[in-house]
Structure 1
Amino acid sequence: MRAGLGQALRGLLLLSARSCSCSCSGAGRRRRLVQPLPRCSWLSTMAQCSTEQRGRPHSPQYRLYFKNAEGKYISPFHDIPLFAGSKEDKEVPAKRSKTNGSETGLPKKPPPSRAGETVVFNMVVEVPRWSNAKMEIATKEPLNPIKQDIKRGKLRYVANIFPHKGYIWNYGALPQTWEDPHHKDKDTGCCGDNDPIDVCEIGTKIPTDIDDVKKHKPGYLEATAEWFRLYKVPDDKPENQFAFNGEFKDKDFAVGIIKSTHEYWKALLHKKADRGAIECTNVLVHDSPFCCSEEDARLIVQSAPPPASGDSVSAEVDVWHFLNK
């Protein structure tokens, strides 16, 4: 799992969710727990997204590349729209993004959400529920395929901390969002983590009020907080701490964060922000200077190792850890 906002990750919980695509398989010390968003769905064209395997599963070379309904190779980071069903954000405007009266190129603050506003977002599922492999969008590789994270030369797996088996929700990211590492969050004083926003999808039929989650899935919010607090302990790391005294924030707060990081993503795709090692190659954001041809995208995928039979998984993945809570 990626660290969010440097040392302060915002874990967003999505309800009534259907992911637009999924994979096959260091949170910070302070973590935001946010009320579920209204819905997560996909565009009808994105419902036919598919993935293409390259390399061997359970190996450092394994990659999953994405294709859209037309069979074009795409980036799940940049080419899948953030807003489901909306065309307004499929392209970065040709003109320079407006700023807060400065020439820094940083995006202006987005307007606040209207009370009762229904906002539907696409989600990219990196890690399916109950699995252990720490899969993630490869933000520093062209077309940003899904890969398994590596630490100290070993593939990373999340431990089973009784009674939780692996990840306890579908886990992933919101496309076309970016937490700028040069932007300091006003609430936590921490900088962005240089990644898309992390998301947990917790259900398909629950209403959007936080009290409805407590009613229809009693214990799930508490389990989520416990999971994030303890999941690094088996790796001899300290327990994570939460911002806002561990309180879940409301929908408007979450939507505001998403919209602001979408503006930072726009700046990233239009060379108005320092991208560092982030790969911005895309196929569908036509006004972005990083947009490549379909042939270039095909050559990127073909340059990856060919598909092969999978390696065996270490027995350590199935070990259970019992912690004093």
Structure 2
Amino acid sequence: MSYCIEERGCFNSLEYRLYFKNSEGQYISPFHDIPLFADEAKNVFNMVVEVPRWTNAKMEIATKEPLNPIKQDVKKGKLRFVANIFPHKGYIWNYGALPQTWEDPQHCDSDTGCKGDNDPIDVCEIGSKVLARGDVVKVKVLGTLALIDEGETDWKIIAINVEDPEAANYNSIDDVRRLKPGYLEATVDWFRRYKVPDGKPENQFAFGGDFKDKDFAINAIGNTHEHWKALVGKEHGTEICCKNISVTSSPFICTEGDAKAVVEVQPASGGSVSLPSEVDRWYYFQKN
């Protein structure tokens, strides 16, 4: 299955949205309508790219909006950009999410002792290619890091695009440690300190910040997939929008016309707003 995207509004603005279409030209939800598995027998997953490597805009699947477009996160009425904490510049991987997964905020994870963060499970894609916002790529999982973000479990899956030139060399988290020395340590450092410039304390990790292996990661993905099935399969009182066009057992399924109407009321694509100069600032902090 192939997918394409349609931009609405100006990039770097509060109105910007990135909608998805399937190969038949139908508007879809990247959260609910793109399958989790690209090849279940081989444990190959679909990843929706939200943030290309080296960029700062905190883009994410809008879980509370109809059709769940990608938009920029907002805090106190302002667009969010991640800070550059020396020596990092922007996101240090292609960052995104696995569709049809959900970290249930009512479920206490038996491994971390914390509840989920109410979002799809996150992916750090480590390949050599800088991917594009809205790309849907097939990835193989290598391991995971368990971030505890303000008391919530926030799994960070480490994966690589199966079509990346380097993909054949990477089959485990140990391969990452061997072939990209320092990258896993930099990943922990990035997640530990990226909120410090906002006046927040350093983030914490389960398992002392150690990475868990491929099998553990795949099991975590499977658990979040089951939570998503429960979410989309019945009426509920959460703010998550489950409108979709393909989950036949879901009470939230809608028509192609309904999906089209969601997009048509959005402003037309209008180029890009210039970035604030603060986005390029480098922050220096002593590591604890």
Find the partner of 1:312 among 267, 274, 280.
274
Shift of 1:275: 4.9
Provide the C-alpha distance between the structure 2 equivalents of 1:169 and 1:275, rounded to a whole number of angstroms. Answer: 35
* 1:70 equivalenced with 2:24 (yes/no): yes
How does the TM-score come out when normalised to structure 2? Answer: 0.83
Matches within 5 A, 1:83-232: 83-85=37-39, 118-203=42-127, 204=164, 205=167, 206-232=169-195
Rounded to whole Å, the distance in 1 between the matches of 2:32 and 2:221 is: 15
**TM-score, reference length from structure 1:** 0.74
Once the 2 structures are TM-superposed, how far is the Cα of residue 118 of structure 1 from its aligned partner? 3.5
Q: Quick check: 1:237 aligned with 2:200?
A: yes
- Amino acid of the structure 2 residue aligned with 1:176: Q
Deviations 1:27-80 (A, max 9, x none): xxxxxxxxxxxxxxxxxx13xx11101111111111000011111111000000
Unaligned stretches of 5+ residues in structure 2: 128-163
> Which structure has the higher relative contact order (CA within 8 Å, separation 6+)?
1
Secondary structure class of the residue paired with 1:185: coil
Q: Measure, in 2, the Cα distance between the counterparts of 1:179 and 1:164.
A: 27
Distance 1:235 1:130 in 2: 20
Say how many residue pairs are matched.
Answer: 248
- For residues 283 and 105 of structure 2, the distance between their equivalents in structure 1, rounded to whole angstroms, comes to 34
Question: Percent of pairs identical after alignment?
Answer: 67
Counterpart Cα distance in 2 of 1:233 and 1:303: 38
Partner residue, 2:33: 79
One-letter identity of the residue aligned with 2:231: L
CA distance in 1, matches of 2:113, 2:37: 28
Specify the SS of the correspondent of 1:221: helix
> How many Å separate the matches in 2 of 1:214 and 1:257?
21
Letter in 1 for 2:33: D
Partner Cα distance (1:270, 1:291) in 2: 10
Unaligned runs of 5+ in 1: 1-44, 87-116
Identify which of 265, 270, 277 aligns with 1:303: 265
The structure carrying a bigger strand percent of its residues is 2
Tell me what 1:57 maps to.
Answer: 11
Deviating runs (4+, > 6 A) in structure 1?
none
